Structure 1
Amino acid sequence: MSQIFRIMISWIIGLVYLSTSYAFAPSVGTGMSSRIASPLFFQTIRNPISGSSRIRKSRRHSDSPNMSVEGDFDPEAISKAKEAIDSGSIKAKFNALYKFTRPHTIRGSILASIAGTIRALVDTPGSIANANWGIMLPRAFIGMISLLLGNVFIVGINQIYDKEIDEMNKPFLPVASGEMTKSTAWAAVLSSLVVGPILVKKFFPPLLFQLYSFGLFIGGIYSVPPIRTKKNPVLAGLTIATVRGFLLNFGVYYAVKDAVGAPFGWSPKVAFIARFMTAFASIIAITKDLPDVEGDKAYQIDTLATRLGVKRIAQGATLCLGANYIHAILTGVLAKSSAAFRMIPMIGGHLALAAMLVFRYKQLDPESMPSIKKYYKHIWDLFYLEYGLYTLI
């Protein structure tokens, strides 16, 4: 079983490495080398292209006519992709579906699943040696698929209802660009909404089904009129923090404990990651609007970025995230006598991540869209790296 554990550790380290190395890698296309193109879901993502009148815009065309960079609007590549879809190309349709899933959110869910699984197994003596892997591995796979289907529902319903806004803010997204019709998008969203809960209901405890359903509900009303909580910055932040901060991390840990037949308990490590990631997700909820100011203003979407501007939001987000790292370091220091955490990763690791945050913030030019995108990308990189650290503390 130690070999399985080492494989899981290697997988999460690889995910973190790819997160930081290819966070703005091209979308899947024939011009990509096999080294970068495989596996598909490691090719990212992510950031919206937009800017207010005060922000310098940057548009870059990819070197290959068969690929576009998600985050950079390449009309020629999108036009060729639409022609390929119209001609019946399965690959082009799959690429559009791939972009529709918003790969950076998929990657976050995968990392959370792997890290939470490792943490729960390590926290349960004898679970690795005595586990029935013939049952546990398929169940773990089903659990991850359920999470990804929930993820697709939430990001997909958002693209359907935000089509007009995305045509300005994120024209590279498949619904906004026309690579995917609304009817196809609805089919993907509704399929995810049906299959995900069925899997959770069948294979997991009732509590997890209730939490999963609650996550789908608040993730749906984030985008769907007339409630549309995304129009209120406080409600939007609470939604993202609840789903990605608490529900995801608690749910994975609880599911693994249930699978190995161990009672759930709020260990110091689980309580820490739930607090830390809830706060972190709140910061992501704020910074995600930085590149979207122009479109949000045009469609009267009230965000802190439209109210206060890019510079002040970036300053505030950096301070809040820095405070989160200080909280992590103090948690380790105060728990030193109880040996609840490993001091080197808990204190040293968070000091290193805090230093990376400060370094990246100093590089930010709030008047430059590429610089804003790079800053937002780094926030996500730190989010991914925290899950790697979580397995070590």
Structure 2
Amino acid sequence: MNGRNAVNSKPEQHLRSQLLSSGVSSAREKVIQQALDNVNRPGFKIEPSAILPLMKPVTWFPPMWAFACGVVSTGEDISSNWSILLRGIILAGPLMCAMSQTMNDYFDREVDAINEPERPIPSGKISKQASWLITFGLIMTGFLVAWSIHPYVMIIAFVGVLMSHAYSGPPLRAKRNGWFGNLIVGLAYEGVAWLTGSFAITQGVPAAESIALAVIFSIGAHGIMTLNDFKSVVGDTIRKVASIPVQLGEKKAAVLASVIMDIAQLAAISILLYKSSYITSGIAILLLLLQLPMQKILVDNPKEKAVWYNAFGTLLYVLSMMVCAVGIRP
């Protein structure tokens, strides 16, 4: 073995020992090593079937839903504004959210090689160079759709691009600390999308209650993002990404996520009560109460139940968003 190979083998051996100590099987370790080779391989490659997975359609729903909540909160007639609603939902999900996912996959490719080696870039289906072409295409298309709604919406879309880069890329790379990274994503996916929906319909400053709910549910989304990080604990630990589960441990992170989501909903319910919207207040309270036993199951076994809770418990949270949007309509 020459000197260079000896030097190169040391980090590989260290990574292997970290993976094995984290309970990763030998077979999985080999897959991860191949993924790490793929993520920085030179050249240009796109497998068309991998483009949609790169954009993570499963993540599109929250900003699309938040945009719709912003529209509903205005009390405007949706049937006469269906075109704006449709373009806004496409902008929020398949364009801007997809863009944030492709950008994140580029900057996170070495972490994904450990956590999710089957992702398009680590698996070698899409090269890192090609991923930037897809990201740029989504940005430009998003700007065009945003401009068709209103010039100010294009400015908001540009801010969304900056927020995505601040979260994933240098020099900030806010996702390296879960406290800041989760807040940025919550604001982008929930708050900005909600307020954009409100502005797109009225083309005016959103009502104070709408702004308050947008901020409140953005903060609550910090908890949802914490739950998303449970699947990445091994890679985040190795790559020194200080997600909330890495910093606090899985049980404390699950408690924190639940408390943040509950406090946000209680704050939203207080606004409904202030508006004398008693029916929607009652529905929102019921949705919150239904989450409590599910949260106990989550806290008792966070590692196994985080994905389950994200699928079912979080659904009740987002339903509460729409209930509150209906409750504050003029």
CA contact (8 A) 2:230 2:306 kept: yes
Q: Deviations over 1:28-75 (max 9, x none)?
A: xxxxxxxxxxxxxxxxxxxxxxxx9999899xxxxxxxxxxxxxxxx9
- Residue 391 (structure 1) shift: 5.0
TM-score by length of 1: 0.65
Which residue of 76, 88, 103 corresponds with 2:57? 103
- Residue 358 (structure 1) shift: 1.3
- Residue 322 (structure 1) shift: 1.7
Distance 1:219 1:333, change over 3 A: same
What is the match of residue 359 of structure 1? 293
Distance 1:114 1:330, change over 3 A: closer
Distance 1:377 1:53, change over 3 A: farther
Long gaps (5+) in structure 2: 1-18, 26-30, 32-45
- Residue 366 (structure 1) shift: 5.7
* CA distance in structure 2 between the partners assigned to 1:365 and 1:246 by the alignment: 27
- Residue 300 (structure 1) shift: 1.0
The DSSP-based 3-state class of the residue aligned with 2:122 is helix
What is the match of residue 327 of structure 1? 267
- Residue 309 (structure 1) shift: 0.4
What is the match of residue 207 of structure 2? 266
Q: Note if 1:177 corresponds to 2:123.
A: yes
- Residue 106 (structure 1) shift: 1.0
What is the match of residue 248 of structure 1? 193
* Greater CA drift, 297-306 or 237-246: 237-246
What is the match of residue 344 of structure 1? 279
Distance 1:332 1:358, change over 3 A: same
What is the match of residue 213 of structure 1? 158
Q: Note if 1:293 corresponds to 2:233.
A: yes
* CA distance in structure 2 between the partners assigned to 1:167 and 1:244 by the alignment: 25
TM-score by length of 2: 0.77
Distance 1:234 1:191, change over 3 A: same
CA contact (8 A) 1:166 1:176 kept: yes
What is the match of residue 150 of structure 1? 96
Q: Deviations over 1:131-169 (max 9, x none)?
A: 4xxxx4444433333223111111111111211211221
The DSSP-based 3-state class of the residue aligned with 1:356 is helix
What is the match of residue 317 of structure 1? 257
* CA distance in structure 2 between the partners assigned to 1:119 and 1:213 by the alignment: 24
Distance 1:98 1:333, change over 3 A: same
Q: How many residues align?
A: 290
Distance 1:320 1:205, change over 3 A: same
Output the aligned Cα RMSD: 3.0
* CA distance in structure 2 between the partners assigned to 1:240 and 1:160 by the alignment: 17
Long gaps (5+) in structure 1: 1-51, 59-74, 76-89
- Residue 250 (structure 1) shift: 0.3
Distance 1:265 1:116, change over 3 A: closer
- Residue 272 (structure 1) shift: 4.2
What is the match of residue 118 of structure 1? 72
What is the match of residue 278 of structure 1? 218
* CA distance in structure 2 between the partners assigned to 1:366 and 1:225 by the alignment: 37
CA contact (8 A) 2:68 2:194 kept: no
CA contact (8 A) 1:57 1:370 kept: no
Q: Deviations over 1:262-290 (max 9, x none)?
A: x444153x234313311222222333222
CA contact (8 A) 2:227 2:306 kept: no
Q: Note if 1:93 corresponds to 2:48.
A: yes
